[in-house]
Amino acid sequence: DQQVKQNSPSLSVQEGRISILNCDYTNSMFDYFLWYKKYPAEGPTFLISISSIKDKNEDGRFTVFLNKSAKHLSLHIVPSQPGDSAVYFCAASEGADDKIIFGKGTRLHILP
Amino acid sequence: DTGVSQNPRHKITKRGQNVTFRCDPISEHNRLYWYRQTLGQGPEFLTYFQNEAQLEKSRLLSDRFSAERPKGSFSTLEIQRTEQGDSAMYLCASSPKGQRNTEAFFGQGTRLTVV
Protein backbone atom coordinates (compact mmCIF):
# COMPACT_ATOMS: atom_id res chain seq x y z
CA ASP A 1 0.00 0.00 0.00
CA GLN A 2 1.66 3.18 -1.24
CA GLN A 3 1.41 5.85 1.44
CA VAL A 4 3.30 8.35 -0.71
CA LYS A 5 2.31 8.52 -4.35
CA GLN A 6 3.99 10.19 -7.28
CA ASN A 7 1.69 9.52 -10.18
CA SER A 8 3.86 10.98 -12.93
CA PRO A 9 6.79 8.69 -13.74
CA SER A 10 8.40 11.35 -15.90
CA LEU A 11 8.19 15.01 -16.79
CA SER A 12 9.87 17.06 -19.52
CA VAL A 13 10.29 20.82 -19.15
CA GLN A 14 11.99 23.41 -21.29
CA GLU A 15 15.08 25.00 -19.79
CA GLY A 16 14.20 28.29 -18.09
CA ARG A 17 10.57 27.34 -17.52
CA ILE A 18 8.94 26.18 -14.30
CA SER A 19 9.01 22.50 -13.30
CA ILE A 20 6.17 21.32 -11.08
CA LEU A 21 6.40 17.90 -9.47
CA ASN A 22 3.41 16.57 -7.61
CA CYS A 23 2.96 14.18 -4.71
CA ASP A 24 -0.03 12.79 -2.83
CA TYR A 25 -0.09 10.99 0.50
CA THR A 26 -2.65 8.88 2.30
CA ASN A 27 -1.43 8.85 5.89
CA SER A 28 -2.91 11.83 7.77
CA MET A 29 -0.37 11.28 10.57
CA PHE A 30 2.50 12.42 8.37
CA ASP A 31 3.80 15.71 9.72
CA TYR A 32 7.06 16.23 7.87
CA PHE A 33 7.60 16.12 4.14
CA LEU A 34 10.80 16.04 2.14
CA TRP A 35 12.00 16.11 -1.43
CA TYR A 36 15.12 14.26 -2.49
CA LYS A 37 16.98 14.38 -5.78
CA LYS A 38 18.83 11.42 -7.20
CA TYR A 39 21.37 11.13 -10.00
CA PRO A 40 22.26 7.73 -11.49
CA ALA A 41 24.67 5.63 -9.41
CA GLU A 42 24.39 7.99 -6.44
CA GLY A 43 22.37 7.98 -3.27
CA PRO A 44 19.47 10.43 -2.88
CA THR A 45 20.41 13.93 -1.76
CA PHE A 46 18.14 16.09 0.34
CA LEU A 47 16.63 19.05 -1.46
CA ILE A 48 13.98 20.76 0.66
CA SER A 49 11.48 19.96 3.39
CA ILE A 50 8.32 21.31 4.95
CA SER A 51 6.63 20.79 8.29
CA SER A 52 2.87 20.26 8.45
CA ILE A 53 2.48 23.55 10.35
CA LYS A 54 3.48 25.42 7.20
CA ASP A 55 2.00 25.55 3.73
CA LYS A 56 5.04 26.85 1.87
CA ASN A 57 8.79 26.67 2.14
CA GLU A 58 11.21 28.32 -0.25
CA ASP A 59 14.91 27.82 -0.83
CA GLY A 60 16.39 29.59 -3.81
CA ARG A 61 14.90 28.18 -7.00
CA PHE A 62 13.01 25.49 -5.07
CA THR A 63 9.63 25.96 -3.38
CA VAL A 64 7.52 23.28 -1.76
CA PHE A 65 3.78 23.78 -1.24
CA LEU A 66 1.70 21.70 1.15
CA ASN A 67 -2.08 21.34 1.00
CA LYS A 68 -2.99 19.31 4.07
CA SER A 69 -6.70 19.15 3.35
CA ALA A 70 -5.99 17.61 -0.05
CA LYS A 71 -3.04 15.56 1.26
CA HIS A 72 -1.01 16.96 -1.60
CA LEU A 73 2.34 18.61 -1.96
CA SER A 74 4.25 19.95 -4.90
CA LEU A 75 7.80 21.01 -5.70
CA HIS A 76 8.31 24.01 -7.95
CA ILE A 77 11.65 24.62 -9.62
CA VAL A 78 12.06 27.96 -11.33
CA PRO A 79 13.86 28.59 -13.54
CA SER A 80 14.64 25.02 -14.53
CA GLN A 81 18.26 24.31 -15.40
CA PRO A 82 19.95 21.39 -17.20
CA GLY A 83 21.50 20.19 -13.93
CA ASP A 84 18.01 19.70 -12.53
CA SER A 85 17.56 16.64 -14.74
CA ALA A 86 17.33 13.80 -12.19
CA VAL A 87 14.83 11.60 -10.39
CA TYR A 88 12.92 13.42 -7.66
CA PHE A 89 11.50 11.55 -4.69
CA CYS A 90 8.77 12.83 -2.44
CA ALA A 91 8.99 11.48 1.11
CA ALA A 92 7.20 11.82 4.42
CA SER A 93 7.57 10.89 8.06
CA GLU A 94 5.13 10.48 10.92
CA GLY A 95 5.59 12.10 14.28
CA ALA A 96 8.36 10.85 16.51
CA ASP A 97 8.71 7.72 14.37
CA ASP A 98 11.01 9.51 11.92
CA LYS A 99 10.94 6.55 9.54
CA ILE A 100 10.91 8.20 6.13
CA ILE A 101 8.57 6.75 3.52
CA PHE A 102 9.36 7.45 -0.12
CA GLY A 103 7.31 7.67 -3.28
CA LYS A 104 8.37 5.93 -6.49
CA GLY A 105 9.90 9.06 -7.95
CA THR A 106 9.44 11.30 -10.98
CA ARG A 107 12.16 11.54 -13.61
CA LEU A 108 12.58 15.16 -14.66
CA HIS A 109 14.11 15.96 -18.06
CA ILE A 110 15.14 19.53 -18.70
CA LEU A 111 15.14 20.17 -22.43
CA PRO A 112 17.58 22.62 -24.03
CA ASP B 1 33.43 14.50 7.76
CA THR B 2 33.01 12.85 4.39
CA GLY B 3 29.38 11.88 4.75
CA VAL B 4 27.79 8.47 4.89
CA SER B 5 30.12 5.80 3.55
CA GLN B 6 29.01 2.43 2.22
CA ASN B 7 31.15 -0.53 1.28
CA PRO B 8 31.41 -2.23 -1.07
CA ARG B 9 29.92 -0.09 -3.85
CA HIS B 10 29.19 -3.14 -5.96
CA LYS B 11 28.80 -6.81 -5.12
CA ILE B 12 28.16 -9.71 -7.46
CA THR B 13 27.41 -12.99 -5.78
CA LYS B 14 26.10 -16.40 -6.69
CA ARG B 15 22.68 -17.44 -5.55
CA GLY B 16 22.83 -19.11 -2.17
CA GLN B 17 25.89 -17.24 -0.94
CA ASN B 18 25.92 -14.90 2.04
CA VAL B 19 26.84 -11.23 1.67
CA THR B 20 27.54 -8.48 4.17
CA PHE B 21 27.45 -4.75 3.60
CA ARG B 22 28.90 -2.05 5.80
CA CYS B 23 27.69 1.48 6.48
CA ASP B 24 29.63 4.19 8.31
CA PRO B 25 27.28 7.04 9.22
CA ILE B 26 28.13 10.69 9.69
CA SER B 27 29.80 11.17 13.07
CA GLU B 28 27.44 11.92 15.96
CA HIS B 29 24.38 10.80 14.01
CA ASN B 30 22.43 8.53 16.31
CA ARG B 31 19.87 7.41 13.74
CA LEU B 32 20.88 4.96 11.03
CA TYR B 33 18.56 3.62 8.36
CA TRP B 34 18.72 0.87 5.76
CA TYR B 35 16.68 1.09 2.59
CA ARG B 36 16.47 -1.02 -0.55
CA GLN B 37 15.80 0.36 -3.99
CA THR B 38 14.90 -1.59 -7.10
CA LEU B 39 14.49 -0.32 -10.64
CA GLY B 40 11.59 2.07 -11.02
CA GLN B 41 10.87 2.18 -7.31
CA GLY B 42 11.65 4.60 -4.54
CA PRO B 43 13.78 3.59 -1.56
CA GLU B 44 11.90 1.04 0.53
CA PHE B 45 12.42 1.13 4.28
CA LEU B 46 14.07 -1.98 5.75
CA THR B 47 15.13 -1.14 9.29
CA TYR B 48 16.55 1.59 11.48
CA PHE B 49 18.61 2.05 14.62
CA GLN B 50 18.71 4.57 17.41
CA ASN B 51 22.29 4.24 18.60
CA GLU B 52 22.78 0.46 18.95
CA ALA B 53 19.09 -0.34 19.39
CA GLN B 54 17.20 -1.66 16.37
CA LEU B 55 13.84 0.11 16.62
CA GLU B 56 11.86 -1.27 13.74
CA LYS B 57 12.11 -3.85 10.99
CA SER B 58 10.00 -3.82 7.86
CA ARG B 59 8.10 -6.91 6.80
CA LEU B 60 10.34 -6.71 3.73
CA LEU B 61 13.18 -7.85 5.99
CA SER B 62 12.84 -11.62 5.85
CA ASP B 63 14.62 -13.91 8.30
CA ARG B 64 17.49 -14.16 5.81
CA PHE B 65 18.29 -10.51 6.53
CA SER B 66 19.97 -9.29 9.68
CA ALA B 67 21.29 -5.89 10.61
CA GLU B 68 23.49 -4.84 13.47
CA ARG B 69 24.93 -1.65 14.82
CA PRO B 70 27.39 -2.59 17.54
CA LYS B 71 28.38 0.29 19.81
CA GLY B 72 26.08 2.60 17.92
CA SER B 73 28.62 3.46 15.26
CA PHE B 74 28.89 1.61 11.94
CA SER B 75 26.24 -0.86 10.85
CA THR B 76 26.26 -4.08 8.87
CA LEU B 77 23.51 -5.65 6.80
CA GLU B 78 23.86 -9.35 6.12
CA ILE B 79 21.85 -11.36 3.64
CA GLN B 80 22.04 -15.12 3.98
CA ARG B 81 21.32 -17.59 1.19
CA THR B 82 20.91 -14.84 -1.38
CA GLU B 83 18.19 -15.10 -4.00
CA GLN B 84 17.93 -13.38 -7.37
CA GLY B 85 15.13 -11.24 -5.98
CA ASP B 86 17.61 -9.72 -3.54
CA SER B 87 19.33 -7.92 -6.43
CA ALA B 88 18.90 -4.22 -5.66
CA MET B 89 20.63 -1.09 -4.47
CA TYR B 90 21.00 -1.12 -0.69
CA LEU B 91 21.08 2.37 0.74
CA CYS B 92 22.18 3.51 4.17
CA ALA B 93 21.28 6.87 5.68
CA SER B 94 21.87 8.65 8.97
CA SER B 95 20.33 11.62 10.74
CA PRO B 96 21.52 13.86 13.59
CA LYS B 97 21.17 13.21 17.28
CA GLY B 98 18.20 14.64 19.10
CA GLN B 99 16.70 16.47 16.17
CA ARG B 100 13.28 15.29 15.19
CA ASN B 101 11.97 16.22 11.81
CA THR B 102 15.24 16.48 10.04
CA GLU B 103 16.43 15.02 6.82
CA ALA B 104 18.39 11.81 6.51
CA PHE B 105 21.69 11.87 4.66
CA PHE B 106 22.26 8.99 2.28
CA GLY B 107 25.36 7.13 1.23
CA GLN B 108 26.03 6.17 -2.37
CA GLY B 109 24.66 2.69 -1.86
CA THR B 110 25.80 -0.87 -2.45
CA ARG B 111 24.54 -2.42 -5.65
CA LEU B 112 23.98 -6.16 -5.22
CA THR B 113 23.64 -8.47 -8.18
CA VAL B 114 22.74 -12.09 -7.49
CA VAL B 115 23.49 -14.42 -10.42
B4 at A interface, C-beta within 8 A: yes
Residue B41 distance to chain A (closest CA, Å): 5
Q: What is the pLDDT of residue A54?
A: 94
3-class DSSP assignment, residue B71: helix
Closest CB to A104 among B4, B41, B100: B41
Residue B16 distance to chain A (closest CA, Å): 26
Nearest to A48 by CA among B33, A57, A39: A57
Compute the distance between CA of residue B23 and CA of residue A68 in angstroms, rounded to an integer: 36
Size of interface A-B (CB pairs under 8 A): 59
Which chain B residue has its CA at the smallest distance from A39's CA?
B108
The answer to whether the CB atoms of A44 and B43 lie below 8 A apart is yes
Q: What is the mean pLDDT of residues A34-57?
A: 93
Per-residue pLDDT tens digits for B24-64: 999 888 899 999 999 889 999 999 999 999 988 998 888 99
Q: What is the pLDDT of residue A59?
A: 96
Compute the distance between CA of residue A84 and CA of residue A17 in angstroms, rounded to an integer: 12
The answer to whether B87 and B113 have CB atoms below 8 angstroms apart is yes
CA B69 from centroid of its chain's CA atoms:
11
Closest CB to B42 among A42, A99, A105: A105
Which chain A residue has its CA at the smallest distance from B57's CA?
A99
A45 at B interface, C-beta within 8 A: yes
> What is the residue-wise DSSP string for B6-58?
EE-SEEEE-TT--EEEEEEPPTT--EEEEEEE-TTS--EEEEEEETTEEEEE-
Contacts 24+ apart (CB under 8 A), A16-19: A16/A79, A16/A80, A17/A78, A17/A79, A17/A80, A18/A76, A18/A77, A18/A78, A18/A79, A18/A80, A19/A75, A19/A76, A19/A77, A19/A78, A19/A80, A19/A84, A19/A108, A19/A110
Q: How confident is the model at residue A97 (pLDDT cuts 50, 70, 90)?
A: low
Residue A105 distance to chain B (closest CA, Å): 6
The answer to whether the CB atoms of B105 and A46 lie below 8 A apart is yes
pLDDT of A14 over the 70 cut: yes
CA A18 from centroid of its chain's CA atoms:
14
Q: How confident is the model at residue B1 (pLDDT cuts 50, 70, 90)?
A: low
| Chain A residues 56-85 with CB within 8 Å of chain B | none
CA A36 from centroid of its chain's CA atoms:
7
Count CB-CB contacts under 10 A for residue A9. 11
Q: What is the pLDDT of residue B61?
A: 85
The answer to whether the CB atoms of A41 and B108 lie below 8 A apart is yes
pLDDT of B75 over the 70 cut: yes
Closest CB to A43 among B42, B48, B109: B109
Compute the distance between CA of residue B107 and CA of residue B24 in angstroms, rounded to an integer: 9
Strand partners, A94: A30
Q: What is the pLDDT of residue B40?
A: 87
Helices and strands, number each (H, E), in chain A: 0, 11
